[in-house]
Copies of this chain bind each other. A is one copy, B any other.
Amino acid sequence: MKTVVISNIKRTDADLVKRLGALGTATVHEAYGRIGLMKPYLRPVWTGGEAAGTAVTVLAHPGDNWMIHVAVEQCKPGDILVVGCSTDNTDGMFGDLLATSLMARGVTGLIIDAGARDAKSLREMGFPVWSRAISAKGTVKATLGAVNVSVVCAGVNVMPGDAVIADDDGVVVVSRKDAADVVAKGEKRFADEDGKRKRLAAGELGLDMYNMREALAKAGLVYVDEPAED
C-alpha cells in the first residue's frame, strides 16, 4: 500500500451534494441506476440522523485508528469522513473525541467499515455515524494506512471527493462526475413519487398505476379462484 496522504482533492460541487442529501439514499440509489449503495450491515449508531458530504477517505488497519487522526486535518466544512479497513474488523476506532474534532472542522458525518464507540455521546452531540458495529474496543496507533486514496468501504469503491449520502436506510456514494446527472434524475423521480403516493393512498392499485397486468399475463401469471387445500 502507498502510505500516503493526498492533501488536495477535487470535491463534488456543494450545491449538488446538498440536493442529493435532500433526496435521501433510496431515491439517489434508484436515480443512479441502482448502484453505489453500501452493504446493509452498515447501520446508523443512532436512528434519525442524516448526512451528506464530500468524501475524505481513509484506509485503516484492524485495531488501529492512527490514520483517522491524520485524516482530520484534511477535512473541510461539508466533508464526510469515509473509513475503509484492510480486513473485517469491529473495533471502536472512533469515539466522541474524534467526533468533537470533526465537528469543529465542519464535517457532516462518519462512515466507517469498522466499529464506533461512545454511542450515547455521539447521539447527544448529534454527530451522525454509520458503522458495522458499536464497540468499546480500544485501538492502537501503530501502522500507516492512507488518506484520500480510493477505498472500498462496505462493498463500494469510494474516490476522494465523491458525494456520500446517508440516512436510516443506509449509505450511497455518487461519483463526482455523475452527481449532476443523478441530481436531475433523482429530483424528477422525487416529484413523481408524491403523485403516486396520493393515488395509492386513494386506493388505486400499483398493478394499474404501473400498468403491470399485461406484462404479468405475458410472463405466465395465472389467477386461480379457489382456496388452498384445507
User: Number of A residues whose C-beta is below 8 Å from B?
Assistant: 104
Contact A205 B72 (CB under 8 A): yes
Question: What are the residues of chain B within 8 A of A230 when measuring CB–CB?
Answer: 10
State which of B3, B26, B224 has its C-beta within 8 Å of the C-beta of A138.
B26
- Chain B residue with the shortest CB-CB distance to A210: B69
For A217-229 the 0/1 string (1 means CB < 8 A from B) is 0011111111110
Contact A48 B120 (CB under 8 A): yes
What are 26 inter-chain pairs, A to B, with CB distance below 8 A? A1-B35, A2-B33, A3-B219, A6-B226, A29-B136, A29-B138, A37-B137, A39-B87, A61-B63, A62-B62, A63-B64, A66-B212, A69-B207, A69-B212, A88-B88, A97-B196, A104-B200, A104-B201, A104-B202, A105-B203, A118-B169, A119-B169, A141-B210, A142-B142, A144-B221, A152-B155
A residues apposed to B, CB below 8 Å: 1-10, 25-26, 29-30, 32-35, 37, 39-40, 43, 48, 61-64, 66, 69-70, 72-73, 86-92, 95-98, 100-101, 103-105, 115, 117-120, 133-138, 140-144, 148-150, 152, 155-157, 159-161, 167-170, 172, 193, 196-197, 200-203, 205-207, 210, 212, 215-216, 219-228, 230
